[in-house]
Chain A
Amino acid sequence: MKAEQPRHVGARIQRFEDIRLLSGLARYIDDIRLPNMLHLNFVRADIAHARIVGIDSSALADIGYPTWVFTGEHTAGLSMKAHQDYPEMQYSEQPLLAEGKVRFVGEPVAVVLAEDAYKAEDAAEHVMVEYDSLPVVGTMKQARDASLPPLFDGWTSNVIVQRQMKGGDLEAARTAAAHVIKRTYRTQRQAGVPMECRGVVAHYNPADRLLTVWSSTQMPHLVRTYIAEELNLPESRIRVVAPDVGGGFGIKGQVFGDEVLVAWLAMKTGRPVKWIEDRREHLVASLHARDHEHTLEAYVSADGRLLGLKADITVDNGAYSTFPFTAAGEPGMVGKVLPGPYDLKAYEATFRAVATNKCPIGTYRGVARPSAVFSQERLMDDIALELGMDPFELRLKNIVREFPYKNVLGFTYDEGSYAQSLEQMRGLLAKDIVDATASRASETTRIGVGFACFIEQTAHGTPDFTRRRVPIETGYIAARVEMSPDGEATIDLGLQNHGQGLETTMAQVAADALGILPENIYVRHGDTLTTPYSVGTWGSRGGPLGGGAVHIAATKLADKLRAIAAHLLQVKADQIELANGKASVRGNPGNHIEIRKLARAALRNVDQLPEGMTPGLEAHASLDGPRDGSYSNAVHAAVVEIDVTTGKMKLRRFVVVEDCGTILNPLVVDGQVRGGVVQGIGSAMFEHFIYDAECQPLTTNFADYLMPLAPEIPDIEVHHIETPTPLTPLGAKGLGEGGAIGPAAAIANAVANALGVGVISTPLNTNALWKLSQHIREAV
């Protein structure tokens, strides 16, 4: 059924949820206080690799208040299992509390419960753990050194998984190439840093045998399923609630051992249990991201055609595989996306994840693509430099222009605006390119222009996960739309809103179908008791799949409204239009009935319904992603100004040209893009989680782990091209992550342009820039 002419989709509506979020009315995990509640404090490993000799909590006997201590002995057998069913992948589990060994600083060893959070924290200081230290595996190189013992019994090495992807005839490409350009690129380890840390509260009510778990998560249904399976409980007796979540960015798009543990403790103790993660715990022991090394070898013709690409990809995964995307997820993603927006006929990628004594790596906004695009787009600039070509010309020569396009690995790209976005960006940067060239004479200040062109596979469907044999298993999103007798509607959404504006955009989508106003639609989410089973909010699927599911369900409901209206107005259903709260006869707007009267008829005055129609106004829809997803595209550009005498860099401009298909709400799209870009600037310039040689973390607070701050961020200019995809009901593609994907590459290219040097790694902080500027200082 064709949608009504959009009225609300595409409108610049301010976010409804902001009234709550900006006025202190939001309720976060730490706001949940239950009577008789116990507070949990972790005792965490302060040594990276060791055998646990003993845990002594006897000092708590004299502390003067009641405490409860649990260790790995109590939770033995309970663990996080995150495995892809490849023969090449070595199996491991992460126990909820360390059993026998610790494998990274911050790993939970024991918990102390007490009647307030301060007491729990004081008491945790009295639990003494004796360790027998083991040598650490601290680097990718050490992890690939076969002489060092593996982190897990039964493993043959510290390479968790190594696989290959290929397509086309790489040997022929190599033979035909006039130029072979080989580079190794490195992106640093980061922490993902939502404003709100994580936290879990659990309560078991024996009266109805219901376990309720509140968690600051992006995926309540998956948390429910995992807890049910691990604790052997019926899923119908578990309710998982994600209250207001203060940012997730993928970091909260995992199931964590502490979610299972807090639930288990609530059942074990018979009292509500609460754990609120502090910032240090979050930085050290929640989840890290990036930490890639890519060696790329490009085979290029004399006139700049990219004939083939060979890639060797290593990700330092840390100690454990995480659920549900696993240790294979991050390097596999690089292998999959490196061909990018370019027409490439031969490709081979070898990718591996290695285990080290560090915090596990997981998904963080962009998921591997910020690193992949860094390498891909740095390589394109390095090729351009080697061939003496303009970087725009090189890309335009290789860019995919015909759609749908089947790439070298067999993935099909839907319609995009790759060449157009490059051309538009070139126009936007014309003056900056002149300024940059003029600055080459300066002994102190150099200006550079850099850009990055990329595509992003969004809204992946189930086949994508099946191919990867990844425990997430599927990617569909479900929604239920219901209208009450007063004509107001409710959407129960399988997505969880943690900043995406879904309470507004989903109402806009349903409003167009139902003919009522978005403000008359209440979007509920994040509670497994009220929302249909879904995989949660991650992977840039909210707009295309959540919006699509809402559209389908709302349209079903609208069909019923039209049928009732047709009956009452004595016309055919296809003559009815729903808009402005009214059902009107097309071409005869005077002949109409209010939608609230139709709702009343469907739910109360059911004698008014057509013969045989069942009462009720409720519709459900679930929508899986397209087989290969839908590909958004963007070009990001940075104009930088570097003081070569101090290494200080200023971002003069940051410009985005993006295409996410149909725009549901331009304010939300701009906000998502800008927020992502700020995080990408963090990746490019500031954020670096550092371990010393013994795998002791050095950046455990915000004085050492540097986030981008407002004064460092320029105005971020966002330009839109709208190429709707035929693959989702509204033509929308995903856009939540794209902002974070391009900045590292764009800024690095700008630095390379400004200084006339190769840039092979991030972060580009003052110290790094000072080193990269050395040749300019020495020439003075």
Chain B
Amino acid sequence: MVVKGEPMRPASFEYHRATSLEHALELLSQFGDDGRPIAGGQSLVPMMNFRLARPGHLVDINKLPIAGIEVLGKTLRIGALTRHEAYFGNPLIARHFPAFLDAVHYIGHPTIRRNGSIGGSISHADPTAELPAVAVLHDADIVVRSTAGERRIPATEFFLSAYVTALEPGEMVVAVELPLPPETSTGSFIELGERSGDFATASVGITLEHDGSAVTKAAMVCSGADLFPIRAPEIEDFLAGQPLIDPKAKEAGQLFAESIDPVDDHIASADYRRGLIAQLTQRAITTACTRALGKK
């Protein structure tokens, strides 16, 4: 048995400030597995202090011009360096992505929202972080780059396990692109943690397209049911055709809860998570349908 010590200071690393995206990619390519981009550091720095992450090289991307929220054709493009607080009061998010806007309110505390970036949150892939769930819910593409060029990875294929993504060594998230939903769509996102700002015990997000009286198409994401945010295709099918006034939300919640096998840990038992997810599903559906009715 080997004693690992009780670290609270990071292992030694070298710091590099990237002056351009090309420079950052060059450095990341050079360091491979041993290099990590750093933006707000809200996840990576604690991991380094615990020595759970021990990159030999940090590439600081804070000076790169890759922040911003803009519409490009039929997609909303969010640059990797966009800080979480930027979504509040952004008219594009408010107009097209009510579930996204709900979700941002649950992200940590003001300091975390001021510093944390979408690229960081997506790359870190905490199992119950909000932005990965939002990306999966909205069928986003994760745009990644390396010196070899650009790849677009569907969010539903990006998150592989807790803290594990499809990113290859040398690659960096540069943007997240969400298809713009039709005007007759709405959504909601709800989560519950032990304290406000905590990692969620579970969360559920819903988007709906509708004809004014019934759901025509639905998407649902859940965190806390598995090691990464998952979609719920059977619930999406179930919801299609349900009336907005009584969408059988409770039944949908129970149906979904029966299909999952959540983890059991010292914060929450599997039974509790299942019960909670049933309830959150019910509420997210009810809220989305209420919003749909209010819109028309």
Contact B199 A703 (CB under 8 A): yes
Question: B207 on the interface (CB 8 Å rule)?
Answer: no
Query: How many Å from the CB of B139 to the closest CB on chain A?
Result: 28
Question: B12 on the interface (CB 8 Å rule)?
Answer: yes
Query: How many Å from the CB of B265 to the closest CB on chain A?
Result: 8
Question: A122 on the interface (CB 8 Å rule)?
Answer: yes
B201 cross-chain contacts in A, Cβ below 8 A:
766
Chain A 17-44 interface residues, beta-carbon cutoff 8 Å to B? 41-44
Contact A118 B12 (CB under 8 A): yes
Query: How many Å from the CB of A317 to the closest CB on chain B?
Result: 22
Query: How many Å from the CB of B5 to the closest CB on chain A?
Result: 5
Stretch at the interface among A390-398, A530-538, A706-714: A706-714
Known contacts being A45-B3, A770-B276, is A122 close to B266, with CB within 8 Å?
no
Q: Bound complex: CA of A711 vs CA of B5, how far in Å?
A: 34
Q: Residues 684-704 of chain A: 1 if any B CB is under 8 Å from the residue's CB, otherwise 0? A: 001010100000001101011
Contact A706 B266 (CB under 8 A): no
Contact B1 A766 (CB under 8 A): no
Query: How many Å from the CB of A580 to the closest CB on chain B?
Result: 48
Known contacts being A699-B266, A771-B272, is A706 close to B5, with CB within 8 Å?
no
A703 cross-chain contacts in B, Cβ below 8 A:
199
Query: How many Å from the CB of B275 to the closest CB on chain A?
Result: 6
A280 cross-chain contacts in B, Cβ below 8 A:
6-8, 50
Q: Bound complex: CA of A706 vs CA of B201, how far in Å?
A: 13
Query: How many Å from the CB of B3 to the closest CB on chain A?
Result: 5
Q: Bound complex: CA of A47 vs CA of B1, how far in Å?
A: 9
Question: A648 on the interface (CB 8 Å rule)?
Answer: yes
Contact A709 B197 (CB under 8 A): yes
Contact B3 A686 (CB under 8 A): no
Stretch at the interface among B14-22, B150-158, B169-177, B188-196: B188-196
Contact B279 A281 (CB under 8 A): no
Residue from the list A117, A118, A765 in contact with B194, Cβ < 8 A = A765
Question: A401 on the interface (CB 8 Å rule)?
Answer: no
The residue in chain A whose Cβ has the minimal distance to the Cβ of B2 is: A128
Q: Bound complex: CA of A681 vs CA of B111, how far in Å?
A: 24
Query: How many Å from the CB of A102 to the closest CB on chain B?
Result: 10
Number of A-B contacts (CB under 8 A): 96
The residue in chain A whose Cβ has the minimal distance to the Cβ of B190 is: A646
Residue from the list B6, B9, B199, B280 in contact with A117, Cβ < 8 A = B9
Contact B266 A130 (CB under 8 A): no
Query: How many Å from the CB of A751 to the closest CB on chain B?
Result: 16
Question: A278 on the interface (CB 8 Å rule)?
Answer: yes
Q: Bound complex: CA of A766 vs CA of B267, how far in Å?
A: 9
Question: B94 on the interface (CB 8 Å rule)?
Answer: no
A121 cross-chain contacts in B, Cβ below 8 A:
5, 7-9
Known contacts being A711-B195, A712-B196, is A770 close to B275, with CB within 8 Å?
yes
Known contacts being A646-B192, A767-B267, is A43 close to B3, with CB within 8 Å?
yes
Contact B266 A698 (CB under 8 A): yes
A706 cross-chain contacts in B, Cβ below 8 A:
194-195, 198
Question: A46 on the interface (CB 8 Å rule)?
Answer: yes
Query: How many Å from the CB of B206 to the closest CB on chain A?
Result: 17
Interface bracket on B: 20 to 34
A124 cross-chain contacts in B, Cβ below 8 A:
5
Question: B161 on the interface (CB 8 Å rule)?
Answer: no
Q: Residues 79-107 of chain B: 1 if any A CB is under 8 Å from the residue's CB, otherwise 0? A: 00000000000000000000000000000
B267 cross-chain contacts in A, Cβ below 8 A:
704, 765, 767
Question: A647 on the interface (CB 8 Å rule)?
Answer: yes
Question: A88 on the interface (CB 8 Å rule)?
Answer: no
Query: How many Å from the CB of B141 to the closest CB on chain A?
Result: 30
Contact B198 A109 (CB under 8 A): no
Query: How many Å from the CB of B4 to the closest CB on chain A?
Result: 6
Contact B195 A709 (CB under 8 A): yes
Known contacts being A128-B3, A767-B269, is A648 close to B195, with CB within 8 Å?
no
Question: B268 on the interface (CB 8 Å rule)?
Answer: yes
Question: A345 on the interface (CB 8 Å rule)?
Answer: no
Q: Bound complex: CA of A765 vs CA of B266, how far in Å?
A: 11
A647 cross-chain contacts in B, Cβ below 8 A:
272, 276
A130 cross-chain contacts in B, Cβ below 8 A:
1
Contact B196 A131 (CB under 8 A): no
Question: A284 on the interface (CB 8 Å rule)?
Answer: yes
Residue from the list A46, A127, A646, A767 in contact with B279, Cβ < 8 A = A646
Contact B7 A709 (CB under 8 A): no
The residue in chain B whose Cβ has the minimal distance to the Cβ of A44 is: B6
* A contact face: mostly helix, strand, loop, or mixed: mixed
Question: A106 on the interface (CB 8 Å rule)?
Answer: yes
Question: A230 on the interface (CB 8 Å rule)?
Answer: no
Contact A127 B3 (CB under 8 A): yes
Contact B3 A46 (CB under 8 A): yes
Known contacts being A122-B11, A645-B279, is A44 close to B5, with CB within 8 Å?
yes
Q: Bound complex: CA of A279 vs CA of B197, how far in Å?
A: 20
The residue in chain B whose Cβ has the minimal distance to the Cβ of A106 is: B6
Q: Residues 248-268 of chain B: 1 if any A CB is under 8 Å from the residue's CB, otherwise 0? A: 000000000000000000111
Question: A129 on the interface (CB 8 Å rule)?
Answer: yes
Question: A715 on the interface (CB 8 Å rule)?
Answer: no
Question: A125 on the interface (CB 8 Å rule)?
Answer: yes
Q: Bound complex: CA of A382 vs CA of B259, how far in Å?
A: 40
Contact B272 A278 (CB under 8 A): no
Known contacts being A46-B1, A278-B6, A279-B8, is A766 close to B194, with CB within 8 Å?
yes
Contact A284 B6 (CB under 8 A): yes
Contact A109 B3 (CB under 8 A): yes
Q: Residues 761-780 of chain A: 1 if any B CB is under 8 Å from the residue's CB, otherwise 0? A: 00001110011000000000
Among A279, A285, A646, A690, the one with the most B-chain Cβ atoms within 10 Å of its Cβ is A646
The residue in chain B whose Cβ has the minimal distance to the Cβ of A50 is: B1
The residue in chain B whose Cβ has the minimal distance to the Cβ of A112 is: B5
B279 cross-chain contacts in A, Cβ below 8 A:
645-646
Q: Bound complex: CA of A747 vs CA of B276, how far in Å?
A: 23
Residue from the list A44, A281, A648 in contact with B192, Cβ < 8 A = A648
Contact A43 B5 (CB under 8 A): yes
Q: Bound complex: CA of A129 vs CA of B201, how far in Å?
A: 37
Among B8, B198, B201, B279, the one with the most A-chain Cβ atoms within 10 Å of its Cβ is B8
Chain A 110-124 interface residues, beta-carbon cutoff 8 Å to B? 117-118, 121-122, 124
Contact A766 B8 (CB under 8 A): no
Q: Bound complex: CA of A131 vs CA of B2, how far in Å?
A: 8
Query: How many Å from the CB of B161 to the closest CB on chain A?
Result: 19
Q: Residues 205-229 of chain B: 1 if any A CB is under 8 Å from the residue's CB, otherwise 0? A: 0000000000000000000000000
Q: Bound complex: CA of A701 vs CA of B51, how far in Å?
A: 13
Chain A 550-587 interface residues, beta-carbon cutoff 8 Å to B? none
B268 cross-chain contacts in A, Cβ below 8 A:
766-767
Contact A41 B5 (CB under 8 A): yes
The residue in chain B whose Cβ has the minimal distance to the Cβ of A708 is: B195
B12 cross-chain contacts in A, Cβ below 8 A:
118, 122
Query: How many Å from the CB of B47 to the closest CB on chain A?
Result: 11
B8 cross-chain contacts in A, Cβ below 8 A:
121, 278-281
Chain A 635-686 interface residues, beta-carbon cutoff 8 Å to B? 645-648, 686
A133 cross-chain contacts in B, Cβ below 8 A:
1
Chain A 603-660 interface residues, beta-carbon cutoff 8 Å to B? 645-648
Contact A686 B195 (CB under 8 A): yes
Q: What are 22 A-B pairs at a CB distance below 8 A? A: A47-B1, A109-B3, A118-B9, A118-B12, A121-B7, A122-B11, A128-B3, A129-B2, A279-B8, A280-B7, A281-B8, A285-B6, A645-B279, A690-B266, A699-B266, A703-B199, A711-B195, A711-B197, A712-B196, A766-B272, A767-B268, A767-B272
In the A-B complex, list the 4 residue pairs whose CB atoms are closest, starting with the nearest: A278-B8, A711-B196, A124-B5, A767-B272
A647-B272, A765-B267 provided; 8 other pairs, C-beta below 8 A? A46-B4, A122-B11, A128-B3, A278-B8, A690-B266, A703-B199, A704-B266, A706-B195
Binding site for B on A (CB under 8 A): 41-47, 50, 106, 109, 117-118, 121-122, 124-125, 127-131, 133, 278-281, 284-285, 645-648, 686, 688, 690, 698-699, 701, 703-704, 706, 708-709, 711-712, 765-767, 770-771
Binding site for A on B (CB under 8 A): 1-9, 11-12, 50, 192, 194-199, 201, 266-269, 272, 275-276, 279-280
